[in-house]
């Protein structure tokens, strides 16, 4: 990925050195309040500057719509939409827009918080991220997009360049940028219809299948797909699909199944539940994806925490029973009667309590009891035969209980599809979902690139 694809403030900008000396806006005061200090970058939707509020002395990022585009209704509408979307959501993980105005020369501009840090694209350029770090960035991004979806807004152009990483209390803090091509649901008129020249929107590396096909009406699940692509790229270092041109990318997003992330990862193993969540987010049919960003983030963080917590129920119950017995027996004892309260009284307790008390009396040897974990297995499509180390177990969806630490090879097979095989290490409650590929697939028509 090119290192200069974005700058630190604007998702569509490109760092341009030396332009500041020739920019007529340097030194100008926009709207009588924002004195332009320097050019930060240039993008398709405008130039971005650092500007100082003349009354407050505070620095802001100001995006100015180019004069050549100010008289085009579609450009001004996108510019206004970006400002409206960000202010309507008002979420901590979305860049804050503080003003939208025009100056005496009728130049439109948006005033935003000035961010310090780097965008996700620059971080990925240095290589795949640790899985925990990638999940945290995906979680914060998902929270921002969930807030947007709750407000009736679909971003439609989510990509690493639009995810900015700053710091808060010493930790990574995500800000989502650039709602220029978002769709805002209008209660009076429904979803706005785009012109024919605006049917395909978004960036080809991260575009959803429905947008790749030119579907005019999309919903929040197109953002779920994009975040799935971004998460895939974060944990593997490469996007699921690449191509020599836009047409190849559009075809692959619309028709081809991605390789499992574990086959692309070169650094560390990818947990089964993370791979399963990413592949589900990348389903071609929106109905097969998660219903919300909230569900996707929960799946990425992993199942099993509540279920694993229940394994403490028996020891805690035993402790409570023993404590209760001690509480009842102790007040009935007096110094003269103390010799009568001794171990022989214990066998009089009901057998189940006696057994539990013995178990509880040896907490230093928990390894005697082998912990069991649950592994949920599923396939797309459903109904695949599952074999564990060559032993048939049933059809998907399927739940297996295994001893903790079990290592096994899981094979999925379904008539008409190529079998898939995965290595499984059962150390905790987990899930594994595979997408089966058809045995034969019609080849795509040749794409001419010499035009």
pLDDT in tens, 83-136: 777 777 889 999 888 888 887 777 889 899 999 999 999 999 999 999 999 999
DSSP for 215-243 reads -S---THHHHHHHHHHHHHHHHSS-S---
Upstream peptide bond of 381 is cis (omega within 30 degrees of 0): yes
For residue 231, the model assigns a pLDDT of 98
pLDDT of residue 218: 84
Average pLDDT over residues 354-360: 46
DSSP string for 317-382: HHHHHHHHHHHHHHHH--TTTGGGSSGGGGGGS-HHHHHHHHHHT-TT-GGGSPPEEEEEEEEESS
What is the mean pLDDT of the segment spanning 338-349?
A: 46
pLDDT at 177: 85
What pLDDT shows up at residue 227? Answer: 97
Query: Which pLDDT does position 239 carry in this prediction?
Result: 95
Structure tokens, 237: 């270092």
pLDDT at 323 over 80: no
What lies within 8 Å, CB to CB, of 329 at 6+ separation is 341, 345
Worst-scoring range by mean pLDDT, 4-18, 341-355, 367-381?
4-18
Local structure of residue 150 (DSSP, 8 states): H
The answer, yes or no, to whether residue 165 has pLDDT greater than 70, is yes
Report whether 177 contacts 331 (CB < 8 A).
no
Does 191 have pLDDT greater than 50?
no
Label residue 364 by pLDDT band (50, 70, 90): low
**Which tens digits make up the pLDDT trace of 223-278?**
999 999 999 999 999 999 998 888 899 999 999 999 999 988 876 789 999 999 99
User: Which DSSP string do the residues of 377-430 spell out, in sequence order?
Assistant: EEEESS--EEEETTEEEEESSEEEEEETTEEEEEEEE-TTB--EEEEEEESSSE
- What is the CB neighbour count within 10 angstroms for residue 74? 12
Q: What pLDDT, on the 0 to 100 scale, is given for residue 332?
A: 42
The DSSP secondary-structure symbol of 98 reads E
Residue-wise burial string across 331-357, b where 16 or more C-beta atoms lie within 10 A, e elsewhere: eeeeeeeeeeeeeeeeeeeeeeeeebb
The pLDDT of residue 88 is 77
pLDDT tens profile 20-72? 557 888 999 998 899 999 998 776 567 889 999 999 999 999 988 876 555 56
Three-class SS of residue 108? strand
What is the average pLDDT across 166-175?
Answer: 95
Q: How many CB atoms lie within 10 A of CB 439?
A: 10
| Residue spans in the chain of domains classed CATH 1.10.510.10 | 118-186+198-301
Catalytic residue annotation? 157
What local confidence, expressed as pLDDT, does residue 447 receive?
45
In angstroms, rounded to a whole number, what is the distance separating the alpha carbons of residues 253 and 259? 12
Cis peptide bond N-terminal to 80, omega within 30 = no
Given pLDDT bands bounded at 50, 70 and 90, which one contains residue 346? Answer: very low
Look at residue 221 in the predicted model and tell me its pLDDT.
Answer: 95
Q: What is the predicted pLDDT for the residue at 24? A: 84
Q: Quote the percentage of the chain above a pLDDT of 70.
A: 69
Residue 305 clears pLDDT 60, i.e. is over it: no
pTM flag (> 0.85): no
| C-alpha to C-alpha distance for 175 and 114, rounded to whole angstroms | 11
Using only C-alpha atoms, the chain has a radius of gyration, in whole angstroms, of 29
Q: Kindly report, as residue ranges, where domains of CATH 3.30.200.20 are found in the chain.
A: 13-113
In DSSP notation, 261-312 reads HHHH-SSS---HHHHHHHHHHT-SSGGGS-SSHHHHHHHHH-S-HHHHHGGG
Question: Is the pLDDT at 311 greater than 50, yes or no?
Answer: no
> Rounded to a whole number, what is the distance in angstroms from the first to the last CA of the chain?
24
Q: Which two tokens stand for residue 415?
A: 């008539």
H or E stretch at 171: strand 171-176
DSSP secondary-structure letter at 68? Answer: G
d(CA 398, CA 377): 5
pLDDT for 166 equals 96
Tell me what the pLDDT averaged over the chain comes to. 76
Give me 257's structure tokens. 């199944």
Please tell me the predicted confidence (pLDDT) of residue 233.
97
Rounded Cα distance between 160 and 45, Å, is 17
| pLDDT of residue 443 exceeding 60 | no
Assigned superfamily of 372-435: Immunoglobulins (2.60.40.10)
- Which residue has better confidence, 403 or 105? 403
Pick among 3.40.640.10, 1.25.10.10, 3.40.50.970, 1.10.510.10: CATH of 118-186+198-301: 1.10.510.10
Given a contact cutoff of 8 angstroms between Cβ atoms, the answer to whether 296 and 224 are in contact is yes
- The dihedral built from the CA positions of residue 147, 152, 158 and 161, taken in this order, carries a sign that is negative
- The closest alpha carbon to 275, from 440, 402, 435, 106, belongs to 435
Quick check: 289 pLDDT over 90?
yes
For the domain 13-113, what is the CATH code? 3.30.200.20
Q: Where in the chain is the domain with CATH 2.60.40.10?
A: 372-435
32-46, 171-185, 230-244, 379-393 — which is least confidently predicted? Answer: 171-185
């Amino acid at each position: 990925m090119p290192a200069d694809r974005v700058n630190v403030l604007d998702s569509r900008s490109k760092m341009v050195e030396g332009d500041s000396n020739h920019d007529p806006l340097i030194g100008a005061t926009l709207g009588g309040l924002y004195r332009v200090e320097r050019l930060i970058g240039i993008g398709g939707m405008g130039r971005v500057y650092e500007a100082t509020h003349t009354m407050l002395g505070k620095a802001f990022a100001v995006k100015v719509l180019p004069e050549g585009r100010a008289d085009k209704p579609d450009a001004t509408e996108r510019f206004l939409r970006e400002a409206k979307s960000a202010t309507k959501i008002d979420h901590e993980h979305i860049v804050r827009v503080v003003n939208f105005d025009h100056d005496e020369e009728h130049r439109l501009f948006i005033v935003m918080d000035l961010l310090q840090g780097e965008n996700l694209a620059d971080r990925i350029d240095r290589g795949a991220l640790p899985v925990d770090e990638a999940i945290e960035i995906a979680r914060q991004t998902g929270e921002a997009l969930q807030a947007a979806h709750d407000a009736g807004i679909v971003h439609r152009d989510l990509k690493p360049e639009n995810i900015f990483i700053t710091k808060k209390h010493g930790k990574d803090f995500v800000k989502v940028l650039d709602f220029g091509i978002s769709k805002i649901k209008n209660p009076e008129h429904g979803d706005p219809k785009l012109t024919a020249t605006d049917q395909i929107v978004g960036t080809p590396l991260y575009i959803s299948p429905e947008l790749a096909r030119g579907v005019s009406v999309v919903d929040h699940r197109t953002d779920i797909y994009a975040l799935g692509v971004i998460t895939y790229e974060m944990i593997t270092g490469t996007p699921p699909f690449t191509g020599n041109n836009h047409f190849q990318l559009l075809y692959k997003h619309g028709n081809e199944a991605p390789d499992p992330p574990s086959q692309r990862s070169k650094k560390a193993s990818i947990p089964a539940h993370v791979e399963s969540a990413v592949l589900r987010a990348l389903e071609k049919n929106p109905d097969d994806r998660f219903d919300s960003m909230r569900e996707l983030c929960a799946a990425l963080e992993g199942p099993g925490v509540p279920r694993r917590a229940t394994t403490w129920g028996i020891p805690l119950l035993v402790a409570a029973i023993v404590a209760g017995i001690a509480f009842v027996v102790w007040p009935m004892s007096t110094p003269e009667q103390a010799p009568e309260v001794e171990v022989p009284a214990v066998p009089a307790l009901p057998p189940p309590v006696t057994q539990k008390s013995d178990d509880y009396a040896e907490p230093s040897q928990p390894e005697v009891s082998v912990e069991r974990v649950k592994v949920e297995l599923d396939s797309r499509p459903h109904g695949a035969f599952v074999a564990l180390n060559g032993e048939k177990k049933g059809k998907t969806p399927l739940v297996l209980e295994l001893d903790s630490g079990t290592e096994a090879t899981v094979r999925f097979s379904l008539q008409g599809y190529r079998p898939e095989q995965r290595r499984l290490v059962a150390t905790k409650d987990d899930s594994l979902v595979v997408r089966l590929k058809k045995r034969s697939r019609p080849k795509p028509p040749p794409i001419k690139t010499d035009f």
